[in-house]
Chains A and B, each alone.
Chain A
Amino acid sequence: MLLDVTDLRKTFPARTGLFGNVIDRVHAVDGVSFRIAEGRTLGLVGESGCGKSTVGRAILRLIEPSSGTIRFQGDDITNLPPKQMRALRRRMQIVFQDPYSSLNPRKRAGDIVAEPLLVHGIANAAERREMTEAIFAKVGLQPRQMGLFPHQFSGGQRQRISIARALALGPAFIVADEPVSALDVSVQAQVINLLMDLQAQDGLSYLFISHNLAVVEHVSHDVAVMYLGRIVEHTDKATIFAKPLHPYTQALMAAVPVADPSVRRDKKHVMGDVPSPIDRPKGCHFHPRCPLAQPRCRTEEPVLREVQPNHRVACHLVA
């Protein structure tokens, strides 16, 4: 197993009192476990504030997890000291949502992509240049564009630069955090195809974080749905889209507008807003919005359990 995350938790202090004591905590990630095998993609889905981005960052230890273990290629990396962690980042990288703010506007594209090589002391200047050219070609950019600055590229091209930078060190695993959400649809397709081509060529694994279910269905092998810091359903792609079991997953699927006017239907939409992660409802966090909620759901927290082989659901009502 390439990546094995067990009971990952992250809380942030939310409010501090008069003397700096923490009054409230945000439970951003609250006991999340999953595994990703070589060459596979896990899609992590949920609405804003569900903790999906925090999971991605905590795995790379860009933010420190509060508890839990992260095993990467068999090694426990949860408490790895910074120096060793830096070395390990050759093997695990991240691509962010916004290619406008994640690239240094004062650096040339070629230098941005070559920087990881420089930081890790790989190769001499001439070799680095050659490697950078090869990566540029690999992500569909022209090597002659290496001298340009980020603002001279379009959004889709900028996202290619971000991907090129992530690929520079030859990683085995990439966290892709909403990598196409800021792009126009016609350009979105270019970037999705690129990510999938790279997986087919190099056997990369992805944690693909997105709120867009159609994109997730397209790229993922397995899908995990998060709500208020927890995974509520987790199974393979075909099963979750054909037969979602958790009422929240069902609500999410029903809410997604489908680009086909012939299937327009009268849907029942889930009511209410997502509650605050500081003050989460007791019992099942989804119960105030759940059309099927029963007394038990208000008091007793459902655990994520395997209801069918390789299909985990956290709901009292699923047999």
Chain B
Amino acid sequence: MAPVLEVSGLSTVFHTRAGIVRAVQDVSFSVEAGETLAIVGESGCGKTMTALSLMRLIPSPPGEITAGSVKVAGTDLLKLDEPGMRKMRGSQIAMIFQEPMTALNPLLTVGRQIAEMVSLHENVSRRAANARAVEMLHHVRIPAPERRAREYPHQMSGGMRQRAMIAMALACRPKVLIADEPTTALDVTIQAQVLDLIGDLRKELGTAVVLITHDLGVVAETADRMIVMYAGRKVEEGTTKDLFADPSHPYLQGLLASIPKFGAGEGTRLREIPGIVPALNNLPKGCAFAPRCSAAVAKCQEAIPPLETKRPGHAAACWVT
């Protein structure tokens, strides 16, 4: 199957007074219809900037996409003008955010916002657009959708708002859904409901999902494949099962060893990754992870390791492993 989303060589920088911040450097990946790809990493690794670059939502200036292509069903989004891009957002590629309250308009009813999205992309009557809004709210399993459509965002709970945002994002059946930490602000029981919902809709509608998260538990439960980012670069890629079972990069090895596991037993010590993430305007010359890496050798300080295939479907950027 041909991928619906193909990102290649994506690089995004920010021009700041403190110098050029390289937020995303040479990132490539692809996602097929109905597949979930997780982008994993800690704060400042560039995962959200990658998502915003795909949507062409990087504020410019100071931000700038300096290289690469983002193809959705063959169309390179980076070559489109703004009106062209506006047509793609929502109809071909849509995004949901961590905090739905900031993404929803507090002055409009939820139903109106979804209907607006529909009439923007499709030539339908207002009545039909409103009907679609109610249908979508029903689809994301909001009880009493007719009544909820007439409510404002503040009248809903956090979980309900997140569902409403998913309804809006999927109203025009986009091929690609980008979900940026969609459940981070939610309680665990609500998180489980929302993750189930995203998984079910993906199957029903065949949407390709790019899930951005720092939570390795969420990745393990929902993603087919994953990429790991560190300091703006992709450092590892593979199927979720494979990467969790046998990570190649010392960074992912460290991350997996640092999370508490159920039933690990009394007195076991968590493995720490010493030090902190480097500043993106002052990256080391070689591998960005080298200063924190226990396996680092002289070469790691000198040159950035290229992404190499370690075994079929599994690539990592490390000189040592």
Footprint of B on A, CB under 8 Å? 47-48, 154, 156-157, 184-190, 192-193, 196, 211, 213-215, 217-218, 241, 251-252, 254-262, 264, 267, 269-271, 273-274
Contact = CB atoms under 8 A, between A and B. Distances in A.
B169 to A, nearest CB: 21
Contacts of A267: 192
Interface stretch (B10-18, B126-134, B183-191, B304-312): B183-191
Given A260-B244, A264-B221, 19 more contacts: A157-B276, A185-B42, A185-B255, A186-B254, A189-B259, A189-B272, A211-B187, A213-B262, A214-B260, A218-B260, A218-B264, A218-B270, A255-B188, A257-B192, A258-B217, A260-B220, A262-B241, A267-B192, A270-B192
Contact of A259 (B191, B254, B261, B270): B261
A189 B259 CA distance: 7
Given A192-B270, A193-B270, A264-B220, A259 B259 contact: yes
> Nearest 7 A-B pairs (CB), nearest first?
A257-B217, A218-B260, A189-B258, A186-B273, A255-B192, A47-B187, A189-B270
A124 B196 CA distance: 60
Contacts of B262: 213-214, 217, 241, 258
Contacts of B269: 193, 196
Nearest to A50: B187
The interface residues of chain B, by DSSP majority, are classed as helix
A226 B60 CA distance: 47
Contacts of B160: 273
A185 B261 CA distance: 13
B195 interface: yes
Contacts of A257: 191-192, 195, 215, 217-218, 220-222
Q: Give the one of A188, A189, A258 with max B CB within 10 A.
A: A189
The interface residues of chain A, by DSSP majority, are classed as helix
A196 B240 CA distance: 31
Nearest to A271: B193
Interface residues of B, number: 46
Interface in B237-251: 240-241, 244-245
A259 B257 CA distance: 11
B256 interface: yes
Q: Give the one of A193, A215, A254, A259 with max B CB within 10 A.
A: A259
Contacts of A255: 188-189, 191-192
Contact of B272 (A190, A251, A254): A190
Contacts of A269: 189, 192-193, 196
A47 B260 contact: no
Contact of A186 (B187, B190, B255, B261): B255
Nearest to A186: B273
Nearest to A267: B192
Contact of B190 (A157, A196, A273): A273
B214 interface: yes
A3 B261 CA distance: 29
Q: Give the one of A154, A190, A196 with max B CB within 10 A.
A: A190
A40 to B, nearest CB: 13
Given A47-B188, A257-B215, A258-B220, A273 B159 contact: yes
Given A186-B258, A192-B260, A259 B193 contact: no
Nearest to B268: A218
Contact of A187 (B261, B264, B271, B276): B276
B41 to A, nearest CB: 9
B294 interface: no
A154 B191 CA distance: 28
A48 B43 CA distance: 23
B189 A270 contact: yes
Contacts of A251: 189
Contacts of A217: 260, 262-264
27 contacts: A47-B187, A48-B187, A184-B43, A185-B258, A185-B259, A186-B254, A186-B255, A187-B273, A211-B188, A213-B262, A218-B264, A251-B189, A252-B188, A257-B191, A257-B215, A257-B220, A257-B221, A258-B217, A259-B217, A259-B244, A260-B220, A260-B244, A261-B240, A264-B220, A269-B196, A273-B157, A274-B187
Contact of A261 (B157, B192, B244): B244
Contacts of B192: 254-255, 257, 267, 269-270
